[in-house]
Structure 1
Amino acid sequence: MAIGPVQLIVLGFRHPDFHGEVVAELERLRQSDTVRVIDALAVYKDAQGDVEVEHLSNLTKEEAVELGSKIGALIGLGIEGETGMEAGARLGAVVAEEDGRVAVFDDPQAWDVLEDIPNDSAAALLLIEHHWAVPLRDAIARAGGFRLADGFISPLDLIGIGLVSAEEAKVLHDLETSGS
């Protein structure tokens, strides 16, 4: 089975006000076979920095624990708290050792997702497979190409190349970063 490129997106919410729009849009993307949500977690961080995690899927808590949290394994956070985190870390180490090709992040490469979430806020962590990119990725590979880097470009950086005006960039930047 070919899997498309996979991306972890971390979305912050200062004062979550959900009305089902995000879930509806993810469902629309799934139905059009554009993306597949592999895993999703909600993380709540209180004013003292204590974290509470909730699995966002149609799985029961028992099923989520049995199947394991893919995001939890990636970032070292278990659905069952510290016990789950340790189990996830052990499982990841075993897979990396067995595979031999998996490079485990060292400290300079580490991305502390939980540290990036501000106290007294929430975050949605979405592990998304990009189905739309499979034919493009495969064509690039057949041509001898490979990924060197990737990243989202800030709307503010688009002004200089003429894709958006300064006013449009400010609106988009605020929309993407302000949480309001």
Structure 2
Amino acid sequence: MSIGPVQLIVLGFNHPNFHGEIIAELERLRQSDTVRVIDALAVYKDADGEVEVEHLSNLTQEEAVELGSKVGALIGLGIDGEEGLIAGAERGAEAAIDGVAVLDDPRAWDVLGDIPNDSAAALLLIEHHWAVPLRDAIARAGGFRLSDGFISPLDLVGIGLLAAEEAKVLHDLETAAAANYN
């Protein structure tokens, strides 16, 4: 199975107030073949740091069975309890035997540790279908990814892509909930 570039997006929520708007937008993007949600988890962390996980997805039942809990495996979370953790470890060991570098970097991103107590996060593992031809063209030209990241609207003012007023509105929209995020 060929797969496009994949990104893990972690979104924080102080007090989730979901009305289906996020899932609806992800579904719209899927229908336009822009992205595919490979896996999605809602992680709730109570005041004592205990984690509760709920699997979210707009995958068909067939896709969900094929892909399993990829976010859980990626971040080291046994979504299916001990059996899921063991299955993920076995798949990682098989990849290592096949010569594939697995996630063993001690400086790796600690997604669960980044979620403050008494809050929630949505973890979205997204495949960018739109980027497949670009990625392939870059590879054919001998190129490779060095880094990536989202740019703050405020940084776009300095290079002339946004007016200061528009950037402030977007920045405030992006960070309003984060102001109270532990």
User: Fold match, TM over 0.5?
Assistant: yes
- Higher mean Cα deviation, 154-163 or 64-73? 64-73
**2:101 maps to 1:105:** no
**2:26 maps to 1:42:** no
- 3-state SS in 2 of match to 1:159: helix
Q: Name 1:134's counterpart in structure 2.
A: 132
Mind listing any 5+ residue stretches in structure 1 that lack a counterpart? none
Read off the aligned partner of 1:167 and give its amino acid letter: E
Query: Which one of the candidate residues 172, 175, 182 is aligned to 1:174?
Result: 172
Q: Name 2:120's counterpart in structure 1.
A: 122
Q: What is the deviation of 1:99?
A: 2.6
Equivalences for residues 15-54 of structure 1 within 5 A: 15-54=15-54
Read off the aligned partner of 1:155 and give its amino acid letter: P
Query: Which one of the candidate residues 145, 148, 151 is aligned to 1:153?
Result: 151
Q: Are 1:40 and 1:127, in contact at CA under 8 Å, matched by a contact in 2?
A: yes
How high is the sequence identity, in percent, across the aligned residues?
81
Read off the aligned partner of 2:27 and give its amino acid letter: E
Q: What is the deviation of 1:65?
A: 8.7
Structure-2 separation of matches of 1:131 and 1:86? 31
Q: What is the deviation of 1:116?
A: 1.0
Structure-1 separation of matches of 2:88 and 2:100? 19
- 3-state SS in 1 of match to 2:28: helix
Report Cα offsets for 1:130-174 as digits up to 9, x if no partner.
000011111112222221211111112112111112222222222
CA RMSD in angstroms comes to 2.5
Report Cα offsets for 1:46-89 as digits up to 9, x if no partner.
11111000111368xxx979963101110000113355334423
Structure-1 separation of matches of 2:47 and 2:161? 39
Q: What is the deviation of 1:92?
A: 1.9
- 3-state SS in 2 of match to 1:42: strand
Q: Are 2:5 and 2:127, in contact at CA under 8 Å, matched by a contact in 1?
A: yes
- 3-state SS in 2 of match to 1:52: strand
Structure-1 separation of matches of 2:116 and 2:165? 28
Q: Name 2:3's counterpart in structure 1.
A: 3
Give the TM-score normalised by the residue count of structure 2: 0.86
Give the TM-score normalised by the residue count of structure 1: 0.87
Q: Name 1:88's counterpart in structure 2.
A: 88
Report Cα offsets for 1:95-149 as digits up to 9, x if no partner.
2x123132433112x1000111111111110100000001111111222222121
- Higher mean Cα deviation, 123-132 or 168-177? 168-177
Read off the aligned partner of 2:174 and give its amino acid letter: E
